[in-house]
Chain A
Amino acid sequence: MDNNTTNHQPQPTAYPPHPTTTTTTPPPGGAPSPTPFHHLLQQQQQQLQMFWSYQRQEIEQVNDFKNHQLPLARIKKIMKADEDVRMISAEAPILFAKACELFILELTIRSWLHAEENKRRTLQKNDIAAAITRTDIFDFLVDIVPRDEIKEEAAGLGGIVGATASGVPYYYPPMGQPAAATGGMMIGRPAMDPATGMYVQPPSQAWQSVWQTSATEDGSYGSGGASGGQGES
């Protein structure tokens, strides 16, 4: 698969696109037609880039380093569970509080993509298993999710690919704009139903709470853009 030729990075950032998206395992059945698959992968990549872009902005604006979303003492305990760890600088748990927040967010986003592919609104353990399988840097987590959940995921991918021309795991398309939008910060393009090749309801506004302050087209969030709220929040 030749992701790199179509992989355009919106801005010259110091943060390369998430490595995973360029190394995602091709579907077992073999990608029948790389283009739609590519395209959706690219969208996913863009979304993740948006996520990181937003996080970077947030970090520039942080003023409060004292109040965290995760308890520092607990973080420290977890660090100290490692016998080789002797002393911990005061800043390390603070940094981990931020790092874990990013980690939880990223893992959740990726898991949610799988839930949406399966048209569910409830995030389940197998969604997390899927995210772990699909993301190289999450390899260290494989032992946490049972093998059968992962196998299910792989079979699912194979099934989808085998069955449809578009071939894809419906990687999460961006929200907001009508189908014609290209590249950049597309948000709102409805998900394509691989079975019919038609655009179905837009993916949920998973990002709304995150992107609202940074989105350039806020209007599209309310109704999910052109496709409106078909069964959508």
Chain B
Amino acid sequence: MPATASGGARPEEAAEAPSASTSASVCMGTRPEELTARLVAAGPAAGAGCVGAAGGGGGAEVEHERVLALREIKNQIIGNRTKKLLYLRLGAVPAVVAALASPGASPAALVQAAAAAGSFACGVDDGARAVLDAGAVGHLTRLLAHPDEKVVDASARALRMIYQSRLAPKFDVNIGKNMDFVLSLLNSENENVTELAATIISHSCESSAEQLSLCSAGVPQKLISLFGGSMNLRDACLDSITAIIRNNRETASRFASMDHGKVFRSVVGLIHDRSPRTRLLTCLCLIALGHACPCHFQDKQIKTKLIMVLLELIEEPGQVGDEAPLALTTLIKDSLELQKQALMTNAVEKLSSHLLANSLETRRAVTILLALSELCSKLEESRSQLMSVEVSTLILEALKHDWADIRVAACSCLKNISRSPKVLSGGRLSCDTVIAPLVQLLCDSSTSVQVAALGAICNIAVNLTPRKSVLLHSGAVSQLVHLSKSMDPTLRLKSVWALRNIMFLLSPRDKDFVVKELTISTLSSLICDSEHFVQEQTLALVHNLVDGYLESANYVIGEDGMVIDAISRQLNNASAPGVCIQGMFVLANIAAGNELNKEAVMRVLLPHRTDCAKPSFVVKFLQSKDKQLRVATLWCLLNLIYPKCEASSGRVVRLQSSGVIPQVKNMINDPCLDCKLRVRMVLEHCVDNADDCFT
């Protein structure tokens, strides 16, 4: 079998290159199977003091062969995912790591083995797993103390790769001697080692306890002192500082006050650094600081500068430009003030033109779309700006793109644009052009796309009132009903939410259509869903269903009372407050109907065969700390005893004897004004009805 071209020993090369590797490669062959076999056969290193290695050929020669085999494997796998997977399957990793473990291994072998191990862990999850399973971390850590500087470099680099991988082992600084270890690494003269320390720190900031310990141990100060080192080291330290302060008010404010704020100001200065990567990392650090302790971050100037710098960074090639829009999204998230600021610096325009000028099939397109989506979340003007002909066309195109991430981002844009009342009244993003593709995405193979499409449809449904026929004729309802039965709770939640929005202010005929698609039995089972969020949305859906038209109450109390039974069950089961509130609103609406309806509600509130020991949930609700629940319950009671009539009086008596009215009397001085008003009205009607009794 000829040596593969990738391996590399071609006759011409062997002649001109003086390196030993090429000539040896001719002897040993460069096929992966051969190499792996030779490495495994070479066994553990003979060691300097070993006498009489079995099978002749001194230890030195075997060691030399091992070095060459390791070097060849390393050169084949670096950068090459396919080769990594091949060598993984051949079982090369344990042999490589074994070379690290050998007590007598030469520095040359250790350097090559470390490089190979690090490379296996880079970018390939299976490789990282194999390297970890073989125990590489322990050996490489030990080798950080090796006398040969090259071995230390190689081990530090390899460990760095491992700790940067997705499967990196947990490293808790609060356990054992871990903190001392990190501190000793930080104090090293070797930049590869200090960079490793920074990487480990970034990785081990999962809990606030870890962040606090690092802060207390003086790590931020140490990291800042390393800013004077090389650019790469400074970047790594910036990243570590961000990890220490992220979402932690305590560490963030301690950092901001370090050295009377001088440190903070020097970090701010880095916003204008020559290196784009440093600028981006600085922005991320300041953004984290701003979120963790807003009080230290009042300066509007810095925020404006951040927006401007990030908008410029979008033009940078490579990873920096790809991630800058994401940083911008994080910065402006949920902040009306910052979104206004961004709008004033022409963010929408700049991002849109960049999007239009480049291919959709890039990570940058995804992050830009997400940034544009966030920019439109609160501001009407951003939405108008975004809906130019070119961008609307692009977004529609993106809905059908091959990449799931692009589809998700496009749906996210549409969701926020649809918050605008103007959007669906014409223009490119009209109901006809948007609804059909969105409904199609409800059947998408990716769950995240389905969820994102549901979000957009939810908002469109709200804003389409009263012209919902478009939605109803698009096949959306049957898709939504289908998703409401999904195994995934998020899909159930969002599809029910969309149905709820559709149901809002719908005509009786259309309500009928939706209920027929959904079926009463599905509705009942959704009311008793395993997730309380789904229960709540379903009850809100029913609330919208019975709102406005008397006959709609039949959906709830008709068909053997399946729905009202389900509601009753939930109200009696100490469910989440949101569920109870919606449930009471439904009952209140039904109680506004005729006698049959009122009696049906009474049966829920005061079941016939009560064991008197257990008080009605009504009393519990009236005592709730949640004012919405108290108000909803009071409305229900009000509707039960109004208008004044014989039946109403009867109900008053029953409510009186079950302790409900006495509880209402206790609420005369309820702190909530709305409640107070309803309490007064209930009591007035009780008196009204009582008067009747006495005549």
Q: Do A and B bind each other?
A: no
